[in-house]
Structure 1
């Protein structure tokens, strides 16, 4: 993946980018945006691990899903806007910096969201991000008469929903808050679809595929970082490190395999031709969330080996195996299955089932799960080579 360098203009018209532009790659600003947003991802994963370690699984998963929605949706909207427009002038860069600042406010509010179910700071950060994002649609409306319907609906819809998010903070009943959150999240998801009825977003399929790939890389890197720190801290807690060695080896195999599986194919050609951009884009909420959860699960297992967490071995193992299985299934459903034929279609679903069964293996669960994932990669490579020999379509994992 190549990063392009451009000199910003003081201010320019926000015109639609060429959807067939050759050599369209991510900018340093986009990569910087991703790296800053992953700070909030890391905070959410750390708090999820802490909640699971205390046996508060339902609470932890619920809070994680809520916080991660704010992170993912803000990131996703920026990425699709930038692939369609991105003038890379000074106002655009400043608006991007404001959105980054909002993401850091979200990160600061994560501990209170998990510990006290207080999402006020998270919502403040989210609203900052979204207002800066909506301001960009004003520029699109001004400079593109043919896209004014799209810009008015998308920008206006975002502004209205932000007012509702602020009003939601005056709802104190837990059940009412949860229901209202679900409704507002659904409305957020419907805004782009509603806006698209008034005009088509001119996105660049290969660029947006690269943007998602870069964020997947960064999330997997955060997973490795979180797991490494947890293993390091646990090593100082006891002398017998055999279980930690098994965890480290299995965790690396899972992450390496996840990378291999996700990047086995060029998915840019899929978007709009063989799969729905909405389905693919929205489905990555689960891809990103499960990838980050693998690192949180590794933290749980690392601390469990010290005996300081009062949870069962199966629950500790499931903290890794469940998100791994979900990652495999969703990546298969969104993109990998389109490149498979025959028996190769069953490799990843079968692997996901095998990974879940590994939860029963106690301290060996993560290692066995990693071996299952590595075996899936090997099967994919063999299927591809067999396909090239027989002249059929390649079917790598």
Structure 2
């Protein structure tokens, strides 16, 4: 009996050590669509069994959706975070049309969105915009099953697209062009002039004005930190999906995210978008981990290739991503360079080959 107990406790100790060494894995996921509770519960249980620990779940704006799905996530043993776009918002009766960002040509993002139809970005300078966002996130943070708020599109439109996307949109983005440069609304222009004395509309090339860049970094930082305070009052965590760097993030979407008071950052280290290999993921993670200076944590965001066998023939870069072999390498390099875990975009893109490599890589 004594030997049996000793063996039992030894096995329990080994099991605990193995669990302790498992890499934390989060996943971006949307829903629920028409799925039943049973279908959702079965899916969540499967994700948990495969090594997923937490969800960044995009379920719209209705707190009831997060209450329903969050309960099922908790029952499956998953942490549950509400993943909701911030500055990108479809027009509704809660928004004023004048609150949308304006580009360097004087065009509103509501009527002339850059690149794709859903790029209807709000202006971060408007108090009404902040109040709308605060109400949205706080009401969802109040849901008991929501463990945290996860911000996305917390930025300006891409003034320069990632190099791997140029061909898709038939663009050569060798500099900042006015149709993709935001925001030049009356509010932003007036506040910037009051702060610096510069009338940015009269400047021939605004991209060479460092004060104008900093002004827009600060606009986004101010909104994030105010939202962080509001969510923290509800005793919930707050995090964000951000662009890599923050060197790249500052350059192409005006995110100076190392100044944000968030609990965690999820840099989208999507190497294929930048025409880079899996080694680049490690390089970026090192910069990102250093940037937070121990005040926060980094989960390396990994973009999964849904059809690895066809990757070389796939014309749309948004169907590229990490093959199974590259996934294992990206996970290893992320952890080696300072990430506390990884986040998958998305588990639905994972093939059998991905899951097989993943199972080995996360232990």
More strand by percentage: 2
Q: Shorter-normalised TM-score: what interval?
A: under 0.3
More helix by percentage: 1
Task: Give the TM-score normalised by structure 1.
Answer: 0.25
